[in-house]
Amino acid sequence: MRVPNPPDAVPGAEIIRQLQRHGIQDARLLQVMSSISRAQLLPPETRDQALIDGAVPIGCEQTMSQPVVVAAMTQALRLRGAERVLEIGTGSGYQTAVLSRLAAEVFTVERLPTLSLRARGILDGNGSENIHYRIGDGTLGWPEEAPFDRIIVTAGAPTFPTELFRQLIENGILVVPIGDDEGQQLTVVRKSNGEPISEEIMACRFVKLIGQEGWFAC
């Protein structure tokens, strides 16, 4: 009798199929995402949802984004391997793990200590050595480590994140969902001559970006 595989025993092929169905074709990105266990980064009570094509609760009223959203945001960063990336919203650590394998250094900020410490414990245990963690208001970025080559925001901003944009290098890329609590547009912003050049690439729905320059300020 065939013994069924546990939920995340063979995530690679299924994740690749999901991403390719949504038009993600970057070979390097597909390889990285197929090698990362979503289940390992989920709390025990939701690990059985690791392979669903959707967001999954991680506690603290937060979610792990669906793989296609993680892939679309990462692909928009156009990482080549030498970049310093600022991530706003560590969450489960899933996006963080993807970034750490595609960039030189990742600086990740999370306002909820429970999530930051849990993600760090898992990722440190996996041998990730190029990730730097901070607990605090992500809307203010990480000024002491600025400027950054790339910035990614994994929560919905009510308005353009001015302070984060200030911490981006010239010709750098910022990826951020912008909109209200009903939905946002995933927006890719390039800094050109100090000014933002923006393009909306897909509709999305994230939890609110909370902080001094986020929803608390509205």
Tokens representing residue 138 in the block:
């992500």
Would you say the C-alpha torsion 177, 180, 183, 185 has a positive or negative sign? negative
CA distance linking residue 139 with residue 173, whole number of Å: 16
| Annotated catalytic residue 198 | no
Active-site residue identified among 37, 65, 100, 116: 65
Strand partners, 189: 174, 198
Q: Answer yes or no: are the C-beta atoms of 130 and 106 closer than 8 Å.
A: yes
Q: Is the peptide bond before 67 cis (omega within 30 degrees of 0)?
A: no
Please tell me what DSSP assigns to residue 87.
E
Residues counted in the chain: 218
Long-range contacts for 2-9 (Cβ within 8 Å, ≥24 apart)?
7/39, 7/47, 7/48, 7/50, 7/51, 8/37, 8/38, 8/39, 8/40, 8/47, 8/50, 8/51
Catalytic residues: 65
